[in-house]
Amino acid sequence: RYNLFLKGSWRQPNDSTPKAGKWNAFVCILYCHYTNVCLFFFVIWIVGNPSKFRIMTTGHYFSVILQKLEYPKVKGQLVIFGATNWDLIGRKEVPKQSAAFRNLGQNLWGPHRYGCLNDVQVSSVISGPCAAHSLLITTEGKLWSWGRNEKGQLGHGDNKRLEAPKLIETLADKTIVSAACGRNHTLALTEEGTAYSFGENKLGQLGQGNQTDAVLSPAAISYNGQPLVKVACGAEFSMVVDCKGNLYSFGCPEYGQLGHNSDGKFIARAQRIEFDCELIARRVAIFIEKSKDGQVVPVPNVVVRDVACGGNHTLILDSQKRVFSWGWGGYGRLGHTEQKDEMVPRLVKLFDFPGRGAAQIFTGYQCSFALSEMGGLFFWGVTNTSRESTMYPKSVQDLCGWKVRGLACGKSSILVAADESTISWGPSPTFGELVSSPIDGMHRFISHAPFTLSEKNETTKYIEQLLVRSPPAKKWSRSRRKCFFFFLKKGVPRCAKKKR
Ligand SMILES: *[C@@H]1O[C@H](CO)[C@@H](O)[C@H](O)[C@H]1NC(C)=O
Ligand SMILES: *[C@@H]1O[C@H](CO)[C@@H](O)[C@H](O)[C@H]1NC(C)=O
Ligand SMILES: *[C@@H]1O[C@H](CO)[C@@H](O)[C@H](O)[C@H]1NC(C)=O
Ligand SMILES: *[C@@H]1O[C@H](CO)[C@@H](O)[C@H](O)[C@H]1NC(C)=O
Ligand SMILES: *[C@@H]1O[C@H](CO)[C@@H](O)[C@H](O)[C@H]1NC(C)=O
């Protein structure tokens, strides 16, 4: 794999939507990804449709990656544990109206696999902190979905709930590289940088230019800017990032989570409060910093590299390793030492120091996490609203010294992939999603095989990626914790050589 770094000037360096036509560039360094060696210099001309190329400005260099977007190079097996029957959560028995599901789905107190995925290699698994549906992407870039489906969020053209993963046929001719789940809607991103959406659209969260009850089959969002590289979903809103680092949002603006300096509220007929939803991806234009005395200063040059959404808040990471947050501020989830809602992306001070920036960001339903450049994990917000909230990013001391590779959080349980172990914690009760005994506090397990877990096993399989999901609160308010974990395991190395 190669990256081509082009030094020189484009004909239209400031044009954000370059037109098809001739491009020229002068000096080019062919840079080998694996050996970190510059191989040679030469001069190239690019003729053709620029939209085929991803263009990013990195300092005074332009880098053109003559490749389509890539999906993770993981080849894994999907493993599930936790509660799997929505109707059983918070109840002793499945209610009468859901009798058809009575014999389906137990709480799984250990990792299990889906039979239908025996021959399927998985590169990534996706859900959201308020979703009750899940997605997986195979190593061929095919998207599968399963779970609840009242609004067609599974993309199969109907609203039948699915107990096991099923290929989304209408996207089968596309190569999907990533996806995101909102409460009742889904976004999928193709390797060409086009986003498809399906599911609930009452608040415009599908970005298709209108508000409809539900869209049962995938349709492209209405957007004609630069190719997209990231998608994320909150409960009833969505975010996309283009290859130039511009952030766009659409859907429900209720708590300012869209970042357009408004909560969209207006009084409609009969004194009813309604919301002016964004129906088409709209660029988030302003990023700010607030001083202690409330003075607001705009922060220029924010190039968005990653975005993560909680239920009603959003977090971004920019190219300078800064973190911004906005939306619902309750319980300190924004990390600004106050609970006010923010209508515009606001800088999180703690990560705004050279050498102490953030490397990765994650969100739970009402909380946020960042992994610092130095490797420390920070947490803010709450996982249990009857306990104290963390109002600003605080280091998770128990994980000092661990190399955190991934993190997932639903409503209250947290799962961390660190070194070659998986660490989980969260308040009780649980439904098996923490795997070992559900006790308050943190505990550790090492996972090696799909169905057995024991300490200190030298097998090299380990959990590569993970996520947690919690069904939405309203319907199951009786239950206090509802979480699901999906683990994606790295495949067994094919021929581990024995030492003589
Ligand atoms: C969204 O889905 C959840 C279950 O997934 C359901 O309880 C809720 O009513 C849905 N919301 C709407 C507005 O349909
Ligand atoms: C909503 O927009 C989509 C995409 O533009 C279109 O296919 C669909 O027919 C529209 N629905 C309604 C009810 O206007
Ligand atoms: C998010 O907003 C919804 C309404 O859109 C509300 O019901 C819910 O409680 C909020 N959730 C959080 C975590 O703030
Ligand atoms: C490690 O796990 C493998 C696969 O589950 C099992 O066969 C082996 O006995 C385990 N070894 C130890 C030391 O537990
Ligand atoms: C939150 O904490 C309280 C007090 O420790 C506990 O009783 C309750 O079960 C917890 N709730 C959840 C959702 O874990």
In this prediction, residue 343 carries a pLDDT of 96
- Please tell me the predicted confidence (pLDDT) of residue 74: 72
253 lines ligand 3 (CB under 6 A): no
Tell me, yes or no, whether 473 and 340 share the same domain.
Answer: yes
- The pLDDT, as a whole number, for residue 392 is 95
Q: Is the CB of 200 under 6 A from ligand 3?
A: no
CA atoms within 13 A on the CB side of 135: 29
Q: What is the pLDDT of residue 83?
A: 76
> Based on the domain organization, do 389 and 330 belong to the same domain?
yes
Question: How confident is the model at residue 34, as a pLDDT?
Answer: 45
**pLDDT confidence tier of residue 408, bands split at 50, 70 and 90:** confident
130: in domain: yes
Same domain as 128, residue 16: no
Can you tell me the distance from the alpha carbon of 444 to that of 80, in angstroms, rounded to the nearest whole number? 18
Q: Locate the ligand 5 atom nearest the alpha carbon of residue 385 and give its number.
A: 1
- Percent of the chain at pLDDT above 70? 68
pLDDT of residue 141: 94
The closest-lying atom of ligand 4 relative to the alpha carbon of residue 451 is: 5
Distance CA(48)–CA(238), nearest Å, equals 32
Higher pLDDT, 138 or 118: 138
Ligand 5 contact via 57 beta carbon (within 6 Å): no
**pLDDT band at residue 182 using 50, 70 and 90 as cut-offs:** very high
Which residues, at least 6 apart from 35, have a Cβ–Cβ distance to it below 8 Å? none
pLDDT score of 213 = 96
Do 414 and 426 contact (CB within 8 A), yes or no? yes
Coil/strand/helix, residue 403: coil
Q: Are residues 35 and 90 in the same domain?
A: no
Q: For 373-402, write each residue's pLDDT tens digit.
A: 999 999 999 988 888 899 999 999 888 888
* 387 occurs within a structural domain: yes
CA 227 to chain centre: 18
Specify the pLDDT at position 492.
30
Grouping H, G, I as helix, E, B as strand and the rest as coil, residue 86 is helix
Output the CA 422–ligand 5 centroid distance in Å. Answer: 23
Q: Whose CA is nearest to atom 2 of ligand 3?
A: 312
Distance (Å, rounded) from C-alpha 461 to C-alpha 47?
46
| Token output for 66 | 């003559």
Q: Write down which residue in 14, 37, 52 finishes a domain.
A: 52
Q: How many CA atoms lie within 13 A of 14 on its CB side?
A: 0
Q: Please say if the pLDDT value at position 262 is more than 50.
A: yes
454 lines ligand 4 (CB under 6 A): yes
Atom of ligand 1 nearest to the CA of 148: 5
Q: Which residue has the higher pLDDT, 375 or 484?
A: 375
Average pLDDT, stretch 154-165? 92
59 lies in a domain? no
Residue 337: give its domain's CATH number. 2.130.10.30
Residue 69 forms part of a structural domain: no
Q: What is the mean pLDDT of residues 438-452?
A: 33
Pocket lining: 237 vs ligand 3, CB cutoff 6 Å: no
**Model confidence pLDDT, tens digit, residues 136-148:** 999 999 999 998 9
Is pLDDT at 312 greater than 50 in this prediction? yes
pLDDT at 25 over 60: no
Residue 473 lies in a domain: yes
DSSP assignment, residue 315?
A: E
- What is the average per-residue pLDDT within 11-28? 39
Greater confidence, 157 or 162?
157
Same domain, 430 and 341: yes
The verdict on 193 and 299 lying in the same domain is yes
On whether both 215 and 338 belong to a single domain, the answer is yes
Q: Is 222 in the pocket of ligand 2 (CB under 6 A)?
A: yes
- Scored b (16 or more CB within 10 A) or e, 196-231 reads bbbbbbbbbbbbbeeeeebbbebbebebebbbbbbb
- CA pair distance 189, 280, nearest whole angstrom: 16
Nearest to 449 by CA among 492, 493, 485: 492
Is residue 386 in contact with ligand 5, taking CB distance under 6 Å?
yes
pTM over 0.85: no
pLDDT value of residue 330? 94
Does one domain contain both 244 and 189?
yes
Q: Is residue 110 pLDDT above 60, yes or no?
A: yes
Tell which residue, 135, 233, 230, has the closest CA to residue 183.
233
Kindly state the average pLDDT of the residues 480-499. Answer: 36
Q: Which ligand is nearest to the CA of 461?
A: 4
Q: Label residue 335 left, alpha or beta by phi (over 0 means left) and psi (-120 to 50 means alpha).
A: left
Mean pLDDT of 197-220: 97
Average pLDDT over residues 473-493: 35
Going from the Cα of 312 to the center of ligand 3, the distance in angstroms, rounded, reads: 6
Same domain, 21 and 131: no
Question: Which of 452, 456, 461 is the best mutation target for the ligand 4 pocket, counting ligand atoms within 8 Å of the beta carbon and taking the most?
Answer: 452
Least confident window among 24-38, 115-129, 289-303, 349-363 = 24-38
Closest atom, ligand 2, to C-alpha of 219: 4
Q: Tell whether the torsion through CA atoms of 174, 303, 19 and 250 is positive or negative.
A: positive
Query: Are 87 and 48 contained in the same domain?
Result: no
Tens digits of per-residue pLDDT, 45-92?
A: 444 444 444 333 332 233 333 346 776 667 777 777 777 777 777 677
Q: Decide whether any atom of ligand 5 lies within 6 Å of the 473 Cβ.
A: no
**In sequence order, which residues have a C-beta less than 8 Å from that of residue 166 and are 6 or more positions away?**
116, 144, 145, 146, 154, 156
How remote is the CA of residue 484 from the centroid of ligand 4, in Å? 26
Q: Is the pLDDT of residue 122 over 90?
A: no
Rounded Cα distance, 110 and 426, in Å: 17
Mean pLDDT of all residues in the chain?
75
Q: How far apart are CA 127 and CA 20, in angstroms?
A: 37
Confidence at residue 435, expressed as pLDDT on a 0 to 100 scale: 61
The reply to whether 437 falls in a domain is: yes
Alpha-carbon torsion, ordered 224, 225, 228, 230, to 10 deg? -110
> In terms of domains, do 172 and 245 share one?
yes
pLDDT band at 244 (very low <50, low <70, confident <90, very high): very high
Q: Is residue 63 part of a domain?
A: no
Do residues 30 and 85 share a domain? no
What pLDDT sits at residue 428?
A: 60
Range of the domain at 20: 2-52
d(CA 229, CA 53): 12
Question: In the predicted model, what is the mean pLDDT of residues 303-316?
Answer: 96
User: Over pLDDT 90: what percentage of the chain?
Assistant: 47
Distance, CA 447 to ligand 4 centroid (Å)?
10
Alpha carbon distance 309, 185 (integer Å): 14
Does residue 107 line the site of ligand 5, with CB under 6 A? no
Query: Which ligand 3 atom sits closest to the C-alpha of 328?
Result: 14
| Pocket of ligand 1, beta carbon within 6 A | 132, 148, 150-151, 183-184, 200, 472, 475
Residue 219 lies in a domain: yes
Q: Residues in the chain, how many? A: 500
Question: Is 67's C-beta closer than 6 angstroms to any atom of ligand 4?
Answer: no
Phi, then psi, of 476 in degrees rounded to 5: -115, 40
Q: Would you say residue 447 has pLDDT above 70?
A: no
